[in-house]
Chains A and B, each alone.
Chain A
């Protein structure tokens, strides 16, 4: 299914105040891939994400989602295909109850009431939040808000999931829960994050941005071993790939342990 492909060609964006946020970004993400876009603050990650569902219009270059170039005509279809989960769930949950909020997208798609109902319940069940359906969003905890925000997007049955900093502000348990959930998804997934351990667990591929250009694009493990590159981009190795200060394991040993744990979990 070519629907799930995201292609960006020589994307450029300059904000009205003259800040050049993207200076020619190109990549192609395939069906079912999980890719992390990482980089320092202000490297252009958020600007890039906002192009993927047409909220920002490129100053130059092109974005293609599936078979469509992103234009004014294809915008509604692209917005259904690309489900965007924002960093702050308070921005995403604006309806009076969780149910209303999850139903917002499907109702805008013009689906009949029973189908809306089915989709809402399915997506809430998917994220384990069906018991929250009549609650107002402002009474949910951070982790619950995040999961409901993901449900609001799932209800539109997108092919591609885009998430901005999914694990920020979550407690370790909620973070672990979220990572488990995201692992189960078969969508094409694009994340931005500073939580590099999460990136290592979820993504095979990493795209590194610096000052609006792609400076590296490749397998996560390879990129995280490149100390020079990481330092130049204000990044560092994920903790699970660093030596252990307590038990004295070397970086290599820690990495082996993580890999074994990951393999055990995948089985």
Chain B
């Protein structure tokens, strides 16, 4: 069970990074959330055979990671963790889509491979930017920014609670699983037969905890509404940050920058 606990510790690290004191950490979270949102929308809106125009977009997560002084290797490992999902999604494209679209010397590259690569690159971009966002903003700040931007409070609170208790619950789950492992000698006792009750038990405990948390909230005057205290300030820097990045993303969406650069270079050397 060391892996679950290890993953948890790793996750806590992302949260700790958000406590940094770089300029990008101090930006109003709404600016960062907005820029990331525009980024994700533009990246996702590309057609399925478009691969090269995606590359300029790497600038955004890379700059964010650099500006926030985040450990790049750590972020890359986190992205790699999610890559299998993208691989599964695109797995069958090369098999079904065999029409050759590009010739690289003697090799013909089929549409399937291009769309497969496009899916993988896009997921790396979106996941990377989301991780970088949390790394320079912090999860709770992202939630309150979303709420300020019009997300219903119920969702924001749900997310916050999820985040607060994910640590408690994973630790509880890891403890239960460890207890089972220690008394399961070899394969016996590790099958579905014990897995079912284990999960059920965990659910009941979660339920009880939810009740206790609710009790604690009631005893401090909770009446269904959450009051926030943090005054946000959306100033000139934030406006510039959001507009600047958004303009860049839209530009890269409309103009194929690598293509443009390529033709410029060939023009020069002609």
Please give the residue numbers on chain A whose beta carbons come within 8 Å of chain B beta carbons, in ascending order: 50, 53, 55, 76, 79-80, 82-84, 86, 88, 90-92, 94-97, 100, 103-105, 107-109, 113, 116-117, 134, 136-139, 152-153, 156
Contact = CB atoms under 8 A, between A and B. Distances in A.
A82 B191 CA distance: 49
A80 B167 CA distance: 30
B7 interface: no
A55 B220 contact: no
B220 A105 contact: yes
B216 interface: yes
B212 A94 contact: no
B209 interface: yes
Nearest to B227: A107
Looking at chain A's contact residues, the main secondary structure is helix
Contacts of A108: 220-223, 227
Chain B binding surface SS class? helix
A94 B222 CA distance: 12
Nearest to A97: B140
B229 A55 contact: no
B218 A90 contact: no
B215 A79 contact: no
Given A79-B221, A96-B160, A139 B215 contact: no
The 5 closest A-B CB pairs, nearest first, are A96-B140, A108-B221, A107-B227, A105-B220, A91-B212
B240 to A, nearest CB: 27
B179 interface: no
Given A107-B229, A113-B229, A137-B164, A94 B219 contact: no
B217 interface: yes
B15 interface: yes
Contact of A92 (B12, B140, B216, B229): B216
A92 B220 CA distance: 10
Given A94-B161, A103-B229, A107-B227, A156 B213 contact: no
B207 to A, nearest CB: 13
B168 interface: yes
Contact of B220 (A50, A88, A113, A153): A153
A156 B227 CA distance: 15
